Amino acid sequence: MDAIKLIEHVDRLIGKAGPHDSVVGLHAEVCEFLRVYSGPKSAFYTTINSFNPRSFAEDYVAKNLKSVLQSFKEYVQAGLHAEVSPERRAQIDVVSDFMQQAQQLLEAKGIHPAAPAVIIGAALEEYLRTWAEKEALGLGGRKPGLDAYATVLRESDLITKQDYKDITSWGGLRNYAAHGEWDEVSDRNRVALMLEGVNLFMRKHFA
């Protein structure tokens, strides 16, 4: 999400942080927003996530939500949120190229869906590998692979439990294709859903 749209979402949330019938629900919405767009280890997210809205008056909770959201807005406006190193940008571009190749193969007649499934899996693994390296996460003796990278990212709270389940499912399809179990990856629609899901995952966790 670009800075302009991000600020629009922040303003929308700030607008809701007034007299509110469900400040608990708004707190949950703000928590998820900041977890995704500022990062699960950011001060913005940890500050909001650290207190229970049911333990305080609604006005106090709303005031704190507004304060943190305003600080995050100023952070985005200063261009700090968008900083991506040239090395990381190059890594993401490589993954993007893989995903485009998979899309082309998926649309090509006469190409078995196993081919794009292998490429999608390789692109996802590369994305997770470089993300884990960026965060300086060790594998703890695990063999490098999709499951290992997903595990350390989950243990560091950088991806959700559902993300982990999705990665496991995508990894299963990649493995079927890589080991020649053609019947398991003969459904082109299933591989198309895999491609769409991985693309959505990487946009959500642009790291």
Q: Which of 58, 10, 60, 2 is nearest to 34 (CA)?
A: 10
Same-domain status, 21 and 122? no
Environment class of 191 (CB within 10 Å of its CB; exposed 0-12, middle 13-18, buried 19+):
buried
Do residues 156 and 183 both lie within one domain?
yes
73 with 14, same domain?
A: yes
| Same-domain check for residues 39 and 134 | no
Digit-coded pLDDT (tens) for 140-192: 889 999 999 999 999 999 999 999 999 999 999 999 999 999 989 999 999 99
Question: 109 and 11, same structural domain?
Answer: no
Q: Express each pLDDT in 92-141 by its tens digit.
A: 778 888 899 999 999 998 999 999 999 999 999 999 999 998 888 899 88
Task: Check whether residue 129 and residue 37 sit in a common domain.
Answer: no
Note the Cα 189 to chain centre separation in Å.
23
Are 71 and 112 in the same domain? no
In this predicted structure, what is the pLDDT of residue 86? 61
User: What pLDDT does 71 receive?
Assistant: 92
The structure's pTM equals 0.61
- Do residue 60 and residue 100 come from a single domain? no
The reply to whether 47 and 70 lie within a common domain is: yes
Indicate if 162 and 144 belong to the same structural domain. yes
Cα–Cα distance between 195 and 100 in angstroms, integer? 10
Give the domain-ending residue among 48, 77, 106: 77
Same structural domain, 118 and 51: no
CATH number, position 100: 1.20.120
Q: Same domain, yes or no, for 91 and 193?
A: yes
Give the chain's domain count.
2
Range of the domain at 33: 3-77
pLDDT in tens, 67-83: 999 999 998 888 766 55
